[in-house]
Copies of this chain bind each other. A is one copy, B any other.
Amino acid sequence: MAPKFELKTPKGTKDWDGKDMVIRDKIFSTITEVFKRHGGVTIDTPVFELKEVLTGKYGEDSKLIYDLADQGGELCSLRYDLTVPFARYLAMNRDIQNIRRYHIAKVYRRDQPAMTKGRMREFYQCDFDIAGSYDAMIPDAEIIKVATQIFDKLGWKGTYTIKLNHRKILDGIFQVCGVPEDKIRTISSAVDKLDKLPWADVRKEMTLEKGLAEDVADRIGEWVVLKGKKDLLVKLRADEKLAANESMKQGMDDMELLLRYLEKWKALDSVSFDLSLARGLDYYTGVIYEIVTEGSAPATIEGEPAPKQKKKKKGPKGEDDDRSDDPSVGVGSVAAGGRYDNLVGMFSGKGQIPCVGISFGVDRIFSITKARMAADKSHEQVRNTEVDVFVMAFGGKGFTGLLEERMEVVDMLWDSEIKSEISYKVKPKLPQQFKQAEVNKVPFAVILGEDELAERKVKIKEMGLLEGHPEKDGVLVLIDDLVKELKKRLQRKKELDDVARVAEGLKVVHGIKGDKKEEASVAAAAPADPLVPKVEEVASALAEEGKLADGAAPESAAEKLAGPTEAS
């Protein structure tokens, strides 16, 4: 009864599981903590919107919107981003005149995927937006501060660049260079491609495709290649024609304030005021930004023009379209945003609410994080369950499995909120139980034996203790003291793990290490800790002590640990 279709997830989507989920959740919690640190509150909007809500918001990209089938009733589309639903929400809730909202959710785009680079059809965005009428550039600066705190906390300090620009500065340059008013947005789109294409190609698009005069394009070319910080602002102000342009003036005043505030907030180091940044979406009205890192640009950007993309194939075998190996495709920006003062008014019809915000591309941040962790092997240390205690039993001939006794003990632990498990077998063998604990790197075993139970005692055994540790062979405790004794040891282990990390100078940031050069570890994963050796080391330590069955090479440390009392 095998199904007649290929078993897969839809094109451009994937299942997330195992360590990937753990790493992604750590990224989410890092981002969420910073959002809350800046007063963020969260909202949740439906995954689909009325089709009309999305209409006319995304320009050329509207063709990438997923529609729901017409099954009678309203016509709906899957959300394309979180910004338009946020503006729709503000327009519907007139009593909310200001809010710092964050929203972490999936969005949908029928684009060509490049899966391993984190370019998906279904992907997460983490948005933080400040809505409300305020004095100029203070919220704008806080958004950038939020971004630096997130990337610093992810361990990316020094490895990312925040490209900044201002729509009014760009528009001013275009006006002064002689771009006709009706061509400004389309010429702006061409400029935006400078991170993927050399100037010669962009110039060709402006002149040949978009009909701009060659001398106008050349004048633009002199400006849009410039980057800097305050020095660039000085240079712009020094140009008389630019300085006389009204749009330029407003943009430069904003940018001057922004750079000053960012300096106060120690966020200027990673910033590059970059006149080539234009951003595709129409709705931006002020400052715009994009955060890039290694791998953001396509591999070919520095050399020849990018090779032509493969022709899009249609049909159910859509996964063949994955462009992960296409060198002309980079990871892209890891965060981007800007000010959009008119979007809410497109819904409300009146009552604008000025907004500025940023969106973090978690799938891309994840791809980069995972590649780094794979490079330094720290990925291997991630645990994907959080179980702290495995309750197991052993016995000699006639061993019953002690199921009900194991049930009673694990129940006591559950009721004390200790994460724990038992084997689901009535009569499990001890090596099987150790193996199961070992696979999931469970740090503690509680071992039940008939003789010990007769005295109301059980053994606590910390996995992987080194030779010479006073509790290496485990320690017998009264069942009535078990919870207390376990909590004490769990707490001590947590403290030791923390100390070890500090001692090693590890830069473990909420469980995710960013610095390539250091030995890596993840908060939940103890084994990298030098004070807490691996299970295999214990097994060999035990072997040296001559405590194990002689000679034979056991298949796993778990079997070694089982020792001679095993019931099999």
Contact = CB atoms under 8 A, between A and B. Distances in A.
Contact of A10 (B76, B346, B350): B76
A482 to B, nearest CB: 16
Contacts of A408: 264
17 contacts: A1-B345, A1-B346, A4-B52, A14-B46, A18-B41, A21-B41, A36-B386, A37-B417, A38-B421, A39-B419, A39-B421, A39-B440, A46-B122, A69-B69, A134-B425, A135-B426, A138-B426
Given A314-B72, A419-B39, A1 B46 contact: no
A14 to B, nearest CB: 7
Contacts of A350: 2
A219 B88 CA distance: 58
A92 B8 contact: yes
A247 interface: no
Number of chain copies forming the complex? 2
A423 to B, nearest CB: 8
A138 B67 contact: no
Given A36-B419, A266-B411, A16 B43 contact: yes
A10 B69 contact: no
Contact of A2 (B21, B39, B348): B348
A563 interface: no
B1 A15 contact: no
A568 interface: no
Interface in A311-337: 314-316, 318
A10 B50 contact: yes
Interface string A245-269: 0000000000000000100111000
Interface of A: 1-5, 7-11, 13-18, 21, 25, 33, 36-50, 52-53, 66-74, 76, 78, 88-89, 91-93, 100-101, 106, 108, 110, 122, 130, 132, 134-135, 138-139, 145, 149, 261, 264-266, 314-316, 318, 345-350, 384-387, 403-404, 407-408, 411, 414-415, 417-422, 424-426, 440
A74 to B, nearest CB: 5
Contacts of A422: 138
A346 B50 contact: no
A385 B1 contact: no
B52 A3 contact: yes
A347 B74 contact: no
Contacts of A138: 403, 422, 424-426
Nearest to A48: B10
A107 to B, nearest CB: 10
Contacts of A266: 411, 415
A176 to B, nearest CB: 30
A47 B47 contact: yes
A47 B106 contact: yes
Contacts of A15: 43-46, 89, 92
Given A9-B45, A21-B42, A425-B134, A74 B318 contact: yes
A386 B11 CA distance: 39
B407 A265 contact: yes
Nearest to A422: B138
Contacts of A10: 46, 48-50, 74, 76
A27 to B, nearest CB: 13
Contacts of A93: 17
Contacts of A72: 314
Given A39-B387, A40-B385, A41-B385, 10 more contacts: A3-B349, A5-B53, A16-B44, A67-B69, A72-B314, A73-B316, A73-B318, A138-B425, A139-B424, A264-B411
A66 B68 CA distance: 7
Contacts of A420: 37, 39
